[in-house]
Structure 1
Amino acid sequence: MGADTVAPGRAAALVDARLPVFQAGMGGIAGPCLVAAVAEAGGAGIIGLYKHNPDEIAALIAEAADLTDRPFGINLVPEVVSEPTLLDQVRGVTQAPAARPFVTFYGLPPAAAIRLARDAGRVVIVQTGSVFDAVEAVRRGAGAIVIQGHEAGGHHLSARGVLDLVAAVAERLPEIPLIAAGGISDANAAAMAAAAGADAVLAGTAFICATESAAHDHYRARVLTATGADQTVITDRFEIGWAGRRHRVLRNAVTEAATPPAPTFIGRTVLFGRPYPVPCGSAAVPTIHTSGRIDDMALYCGTGCDAVTAIEPAADIVRRLAAGVAQGRAARRPDARPAATAAIAAQS
């Protein structure tokens, strides 16, 4: 099935995307070029933010808006900033004159942040890792949910598999658009997520090696040569700047050391023209603006890495994943849920 014949579904339609594919808001990697390419292809591109101030947020939105007239989003991380700072970030998004991006939050945000975005007329999507948090996010005003399984690269919200989580949330919140995340790097994985009940998929690892990605070349080379999930590991070795959240990365000298290496400076990166040192153990991902011992940095990567085999345009990735979602929808039956659904819902 060609991408032109794939229906957007509820989640994509909510943000006015043509195809049921969301690109993860990977801080540093998902810059305006990648986001615009995904949006132009019909998907939902999302700018990755971190501790950016409102002026930086406005600049990134303006740059993306110069590259595409299609809708795109931004991603904020409530747990790495204070609530007042988060609210300032939301204001920075809603007051940016260049465009009207939808708002996504990684992790459950305070109700005030959701309310602020919704009052400005923005669609709000919350990424969670449990049925409980998904229900709470909707209660606070989220219009859609990203449910993330443990297969995902980057920081983790759950120790459960994405397919079981999708089925459990779809059963509990059938009226809410649901986006599956975790290990979804090819059409087959997208089809399985859609068959389990997802309206759309969100992919991160699949876009690291997109032509328009801002990932460092060495990082992309490591992803391209990763042949399976066993080359990734869930660890807490990259907590500087983002404490208390485990993450899945490609194995390297830091993850395999018997004890955590000392936080000595191993490189530097440049953000908005300003240089910043990168200590060993930093949560910062290596981008095209990073130099130093790249292989010892946080090389976030999901279990679907074996499906990433070439540097290719983001549009090709969007079309492939969208075709997979369409296949999964066609295979879906009302009673086709993993056997563990009831147990998961009861435990969440």
Structure 2
Amino acid sequence: MKFATKSIHIGEVPFENQHGDAIYPIHLSTTFAKTNLDDVEKGYVYSRSGNPTRDSLENKLASLENAKYGLAFSSGLAAETTIILSLLNKGDHILAFDDLYGGTKRLFTNVLKRFGIEVSYVDFRNIELIERSIKKNTKIIWIETPTNPLLKIADIKKIADISKTNNIISVVDNTFASPYFQNPLDLGANIVVHSITKYINGHSDVIGGALMLNDDNLYDKLKYHQNSVGSILSPFNSWLVMRGIKTLALRMERHEKNAFTISKYLETHPSVLKVYYPGLKSHPQHELAAKQMRGFGGMLSFEIKGGLDEARKFVENLSLFSLAESLGGVESLIEIPALMTHSSIPKEERIKTGITDSLIRVSIGIEDVEDLITDLEKGFKAVI
């Protein structure tokens, strides 16, 4: 079954539910009654432990990543935290890409250190550096590709092979690419994590996270902690995400088409220093991106000439691009990482990674691309 078909039909077979609903219903009940005590532990018992609507979504999520299992959480960070609680102990070490979503770095740097978990960051574009940075206590290699916000690409297959050789779990944050354009499990990764707030839901009206995987043992640990910690996605939000997934294939095609056109426009603009988009041949890892991805997505970043003042003037003079955090919705969003999504990272560390004050991150929506370019022109005129 192909991707677009799975996104519509998996988890929503009409006669697998009571009334033959063509659209899977929302099961809001928190508890489920039994006819006798012998059935107390059979089927659904309590919605934190299992809910028909969430189960339907989790089956659908698994199918998108060609996975055996899917788990849905109350946020992307809740999904990430569940990995850590399930698989790590005091004294363990995480080796992570140096260019990560600011919230993930905040979790790793400011929260985990209180529990004796060590984290170190290296440039995952350098395979030899990864191999040299593995320690005896390294338990997880944490990959984000393309990265947020610099669109760096990590070689998933090579890093997954290194992980297996060293008996380390490989985790890939696949949020930027979406499962439509990239499937890390097929390349050897152990766990895929998504902020389903973003492309998977696609309408900026749900906060949620997901894990997809194939390993039975890892799944049992993650499922146990999902229930024990209670970081589950609500039935209503599960239903909304299922609705959003139905158009994921169509949306991603339009996101990419618009992003490629705008990246070409920005690349030749006299007020732009540099464009970060893996679909451009000028991107230093374009060939790797083309090898492990089926498309390049709808996210791009660029550096505007000048500094923070010019970046502020630019984003504050747009109309169609909303100045807002998050990404992956049908509407176009724009932000300055130094002031917004990555503001929790110390400036010295940001600059070292490449996140300058003049860097602007853009989530390209599915509007008419000519209208979006006209809006960008308005921003540039305000800076000149």
**Is this a same-fold pair by TM over 0.5?**
no
TM-score, L = length of structure 1: 0.35
Work out which of the two has the higher radius of gyration on C-alpha atoms and give 1 or 2: 2
TM-score, L = length of structure 2: 0.32
